[in-house]
Chains A and B, each alone.
Chain A
Amino acid sequence: MRVAKTFTVATLLCITACFLSKETNAQTDFDAIMMNKNQFCSGLMYSSSSWKNYWEGTLKRDNQNLGTVSSKSVMYMANYGITNNLNVMIGAPYVWTKASEGTLHGMNGIQDASLTVKWKPVTIKYGKSKLSLFLLGGVSTPLNNYVIDFLPLSIGLGSTNLTGRAMVDYQYKRFTVTGSASYIVRSNVKIDRTGYYDTQGRLTNEVQMPNAAQYQLRTGYRGKYLLAEALLTNWTTLGGFDITRNNMPFPSNRMNATSVGANLKYTFKFHTNLSALAGANFTIAGRNMGQSNSFSVGAFYAFYFKKTGNK
């Protein structure tokens, strides 16, 4: 297998990238593909996400004072194969947000850097079937003190997150099914004001961030040049509170979302170091989040540090 084929992309590694938008398509830290030893791949991914309707608690509504809220991001990502079964990934996005109506000012800035270690400890082969187990550990943290408490236009939620994920991948010939479950420990965050009200008055600038869980199921075709998958993703915040009627959102809301999507990756035959990616994701259910549609495209280039490492 050639290196360049093995790479797909993370859009925003941190799902909490932008309130009410969540972008989980085409993530290397969610897929079952490994870089081989001493292979390095990096590239840029552009993502665009927008929503008009959102869930205020469980009530679905629109807001004429926001119109359509959109976020765009450009993310740099890199992946390196320490061994064939141990990869390390980094990423960092620049994010822009905007509301089409109303008077609120959009925001932009560098968001969170992430580092993920991906390990494939077990692979069982049986005829044309293959079953693999993956364990992933990740950390993400803000690269500056961007504004947290200006949702839905904040560029992120500001917490430092530790993610643990277990993933199982089954492959029969070119057909694959991958399932993963993640637990995300989120640090508390500090906002610019010294008091706030969530479900009671708080005389502090510190906000307790509930942890979260994420589940993903993906299935599709894993060919030599083309990779095509359908995705079902769920993000569940383990705690937090609902936005009250006609209130503004807050970082520690109980933000949940379920989305369906598709990912495509194509490795160019004429130059297999180069690959292109595209993805789309549609939120089908949620709570305290926007019903976002998101799209992404990207291009990646692979380098071979040691030819001998390749098979």
Chain B
Amino acid sequence: MKKRILYGAVLITMMITIVVACSKSISGRTDDIPALQPAKSDIDAGAWKTVLLTSPTEFAVAAPAATTTPDYIAQVNEIKTWQQNLSTEEINSVKYWSAGAVLRWNEILRDLVAKHNLPPYQNADNTYPIPSATNPLAYPQFPFANPPYAARAYAYVSAAQYDALVAAYYYKKLYNRAAPYKVDATITSLIPQTDLPSYPSEDAVVAGAAVELLKLLFPGDQDYIQQKAEEHKRARIISGANVRSDIEAGEALGRAVAQKFVTRARGDRAGAAVGNQAQWTQLETDAIAKGETPWYSLDLPKRPPMLPLFGKVKTFLFDSLTAVSLRPPPPPSVKSDQMRKETEEVLDQIKNPTREKTAIVHFWADGVATYTPPGHWDAIAAEDFIKKNFSEVRWARNMALLNMSLMDAAIVCWDTKYFYFNPRPTQLNPSIKTLTGIPNFPSYISGHSTFSGAASAILGYIVPERASDYEAMASEASMSRLYGGIHYRSDCDMGLVVGKNVGNYAVLKGQADGAGN
């Protein structure tokens, strides 16, 4: 009996220990990073070349009140009152946002993309509903943040933040109002101090620009977005980095600059990219007229092709004629020996995939409910940029160059896909079963390869010491689509080439924008 009690006690103790000892909380790679401490202030960034702004003074920012005025002193007291009684939540919020405004809003945008990257479920009659921007909360929710949509979202937000920050830095230098912790020594600075003037607040500029664009891009998530913006602005006041008037001027400037991008976005033809039945049928008819086998959807029920007119969207880095000139020569004909061999190669790849190759497929898949390949490259870039200690304006500039490359890569890639409209490997040989979902658009050229070629080109310019790593990553991302059974080798190879050509335009832009590297 004693033995039984002993066994029982041991068993129960073990179970309790296991349950208590297993803290399973997980943390993200950027959860606990230190506050941003720019290596260079980039105080002269007001002279850098902008994307859409005609000049940094296009939107006027009024001169701030002097730090000796009662108005300013009242604002300083607001900080002191906050700091008298800080909750853990407030301290954590300061820590979170101090890692960098551009970084955090890029992460927020990636989350929104992942949340909305879900293809709509079919109607009862096997047609598909199309999300509506005017009724974003009804099913299917707007947007369906697929890779082209995501690439465009990242580009607009990044470019608007960059232009707004150039203007902000211009006024920072012009008005040269010191940060509150410099003005009043009794303020505790909860973040690293810098010599950068604090009016207008660079953080509020970034938040303001993001909020304004996200109204257009993610109209159904306004509660979440506004809450993040409020938290961000409050964190800057609590930390002693900004007084309220720094924040208000920055936010207004960010919103005003973003409006210019909103206007561009409304007219960039993306709204018509879904197309209509007549246009979808025309693509098929045209391919048949050329003597080729047209692409058809492998979704069940058959789904209209994804954004067939996205190739007509207005590019950022070059004009529309250049975009067309970047379209590569045709893929091997479906009837050719070359295509037969390439299809066999795909079949060979999926017959007995190794664990390593499957891991590569899944590492780069970035499919449904993910931040898409452009988001993956943003994540890769962000984690490298963190180590570089860029100023906010340089962060924004580099993110803008990357994301304009990714958006233009999407445009050129989609133009190519729908110009040639060629079938996926599984369409030519249904015994090709895939290790990841088959995207619902034509095969040539591979989107992943185009995105990755573009990203590796511009990132190799921004972080030259990592250039060969980016190239290796791009090649792996490209080949992952062949390993997964969803692309022919020629889709991947040509996609990388086209992507690099697009990315090189961003390199030229970077070399000429006055920011240096």
Within 8 A of B (CB), among A219-252: 244-248
- Residues of B near A284 (CB, < 8 A) are none
Q: Is A131 an interface residue (CB 8 A)?
A: no
8 contacts between A and B (CB under 8 A): A65-B299, A104-B434, A104-B437, A137-B14, A164-B11, A192-B362, A193-B370, A203-B30
Do A201 and B111 touch (CB < 8 A)? yes
Closest residue of chain A to B351 (Cβ to Cβ) is: A105
- Indicate if the CB atoms of B107 and A202 lie closer than 8 Å: no
> B318 near A: Cβ within 8 Å?
no
Interface on chain B toward A: helix, strand, loop, or mixed SS? Answer: loop
Which partner residue on chain A sits nearest B4 by CB separation?
A121
Chain A residues whose C-beta falls within 8 Å of the C-beta of B119 in the assembled complex? 246
Question: How far is A246 from B140 in the complex, measured between Cα atoms in Å?
Answer: 10
Complex Cα–Cα for A117 and B11 (A): 11
Q: Are A248 and B11 CB-contacts (below 8 A) given A103-B426, A145-B355, A147-B358? A: no
Known: A65-B300, A192-B358. A245 touches B376 (CB 8 A): no
Which B residues touch A119, using CB under 8 A?
A: 7, 11
A196, B29: Cβ atoms closer than 8 Å: no
Chain B neighbourhood of A308, CB < 8 A: none
- Structural contact, A183 and B28, CB atoms closer than 8 A: no
Chain A residue with minimal CB distance to B355? Answer: A145
B178 within 8 Å of A (CB atoms): no
- Report yes or no: A245 in contact with B29, Cβ–Cβ below 8 A: no
Q: Is the CB–CB distance between A247 and B118 below 8 Å?
A: yes
Q: Enumerate chain B residues within 8 angstroms of A211, measured Cβ to Cβ.
A: 19
Q: A119-B7, A204-B27 are in contact. Are A244 and B426 (CB under 8 A)?
A: no
Q: Are the CB atoms of A185 and B22 closer together than 8 Å?
A: yes
A208 contacts B379, C-beta separation under 8 Å: no
**A202 and B26 contacting across the interface, CB-CB below 8 Å:** yes
5 further contact pairs, Cβ within 8 A, besides A103-B426, A201-B114: A105-B434, A122-B4, A197-B369, A245-B140, A246-B120
Contact among B29, B114, B299, B434 with A197 in the assembled complex (CB-CB below 8 Å): B114
Which of A185, A201, A208 has the largest count of B CB atoms less than 10 A from its CB?
A201
Q: In the complex, A187 Cα to B24 Cα: how many Å?
A: 7
Please, which residues of chain A bring their CB within 8 A of the CB of B366?
Answer: 193
Contact with B along A92-131 (1 / 0, CB 8 A): 0000000001111110000000000001011000000000
| Chain B residues within an 8 Å CB radius of A245 | 118, 121, 139-140
Q: Which residues of B contact A102 (CB under 8 A)?
A: 300
Cβ A185 vs Cβ B18 within 8 A = yes
Residues of A within 8 A of B (CB): 64-65, 101-106, 119, 121-122, 135, 137, 144-147, 149-150, 162, 164, 183, 185, 187-188, 191-197, 200-204, 206-209, 211, 244-248
Contact of A207 among B26, B28, B300 (CB under 8 A): B26
> Which B-chain residue is minimally distant from A98 (CB atoms)?
B433
Residue of B19, B366, B426 ringed by the most chain A CB atoms within 10 A:
B19
Determine the chain A residues whose CB is within 8 A of the CB of B353 once the complex forms.
Answer: 105
A202 to B19, CA, bound (A): 24
Out of A105, A135, A185, name the residue touching B11 (CB < 8 Å). A135
List of B residues within 8 angstroms of A246 by Cβ? 118-121
Which residue from chain B places its CB closest to the CB of A144 in the assembled complex? B355
Q: Are A201 and B426 in contact (CB under 8 A)?
A: no
| A residues less than 8 Å from B362 (CB atoms) | 147, 149-150, 191-193
Q: Contact: A200 with B111, CB < 8 Å? A: yes
Give Cα A75 to B435, complex, Å. 26
Q: Any chain A CB within 8 A of the CB of B481? A: no
Residues B18 and A101 in contact, CB atoms below 8 Å apart? no
Contact of B435 among A105, A137, A145 (CB under 8 A): A105
In the docked arrangement, what's the CA distance between A146 and B370, Å? 22
> Is B15 an interface position by the 8 A CB rule?
yes
**Docked CA distance A150–B111 (Å):** 21
The 8 A CB mask of B297-337 against A (1 = contact, 0 = none) is: 01111000000000000000000000000000000000000
**Chain B residues within 8 Å of A135, by CB:** 8, 11
Please, how many angstroms separate the alpha-carbon atoms of A219 and B453 in the complex? Answer: 64
Given contacts A103-B433, A200-B111, contact A193 B28 (CB under 8 A): no
